[in-house]
Structures are given as structure tokens and as C-alpha cells.
Structure 1
Amino acid sequence: MDQQAEVAAFGMWNFLATEVRLFGIMLFSYTAYRGVYPEGFAEAGRHTRIVIGTVNTVILLPGSFVVASTVHPAERDRGPAPRRSHRERDACSSTRKRNSAGWPCFLLRGSGNRHLKGCAMA
């Protein structure tokens, strides 16, 4: 068990280091190019559509929250499956089979958890 915990911790730190490198390079590149080509960035800024960006953000953030708040407890096996509204449940495709806890099987395939009992794809 100790070895598994060490490997899990190493994997998490490796993932975090990779993310820092990736986003560090991206932010550095953005800053460098913005300094070299300020006119191009100013021109692009004039073409930005704030309403479209705002609507996109308003749509994406709640969806990410719903996925994170429902999948995480199921992976940790903490109590019963969280109750979800009809709209959230239908967004996960009501045409597919669900396991005994009510989780859509296509969300659980390949995740290595114990919630796959009764999952047979339609």
C-alpha cells in the first residue's frame, strides 16, 4: 500500500510539473509575441466579440462544474451517487444504459472504478 501511495504522489507531481511547463511556455510565448508585435495584438483586440466570449464562458463553466461535482464522488466511492436534476441527467444522454447507482455507463468506462456493475451498452 505504501508503494501505491508513493507512485500516486509521484504521478501527481509529475502531472503538475508537466502542466507548469506547458502553461509557462504558453504564457511566455504570448508575452514575448505581444511585446514584439503590439500592433497585431491591438488589431486582433478590435475584432474580439465580447458577447460571444461571455456566452461561451457562461456555457462552459457550469458544465465543467457538473461533471466535476458528480464524477469525483463516484470515483472516491463516497456514499450514494449524487442526485442530479432532470436536465443534468438528460444532458448525459438518457438513451444509454445506466448502472445500478444511476451513473451513465459511457462516463464510467475505462475509469477503473467499481461502479461498472450492470453496465451494458445499448
Structure 2
Amino acid sequence: MLDVKTLKILRFLNEHPDETFSSYQMEKCGVPADGETLDWLYKHDMVSRYQDEDGYVDPYDGPDYIYQINAGGRSELRRQQHFEETEERAKRAEIRAQNAEIWAGISLAVSIIAIIAAWLK
């Protein structure tokens, strides 16, 4: 699934669906939004990217961009949430299975003690 940094960006943009943010603005809001991750999100159709009309155009790096979550990003967030919920259910099931084994062991020990106690009478 997605790494933590990518998820933070998508979740942040999803919280502000009608707004656009530059990487600088996201950084100021505490979201680690580096160009490589934003490019990856754009190439995988999870965010829309627009050239920032007020932004600086670096002759070497190109223009500044602003980003907004799109349908692909929202879909990926739902998929990630489903994955996390499935993982959580699996962990709970494993814990229940371990508890059942413990109780089975305790029950067996009590039964053995009861049989020995009845035999000694």
C-alpha cells in the first residue's frame, strides 16, 4: 500500500477538496510534500496539478505547481482504509484465537485437576 508520506499528502488534500496547495503551502501546514512524491501522485492520477499563475518559474526546475486531490486519490484513500480495516480485523482475530488457545489450556488443566481430585477421594 502507500507509504506514510504519500498518505499524509492525500489525506491532507482530501480534507481540503475544494482548495489547491503548493508544496510550500503543504510544508507550512506540516505535510511533508516533496516534489518526487507529488510527481508520483500526479503520474498515478491521484492528484490534479496546475501551473501556479503566481508562482516562480525556475529555468532549471520549471514552474511551480499547485495540487488538488482528484477521484483517483479519493479512490486510493478508500482502498487504503479498507486495507487498514482488514489488517485490524485480522489482528483481532489472531488475538481471539490466541485467547481461545489459552482458555482451552486452562480448561484442560482444570479438568485434569478435577479428575485427580475425584480419584483421590
TM-score (norm 1): 0.30
Q: Which has the larger radius of gyration?
A: 2
Which structure has greater strand proportion? 2
- The one of the two structures with greater contact order (alpha-carbon pairs below 8 A, sep at least 6) is 2
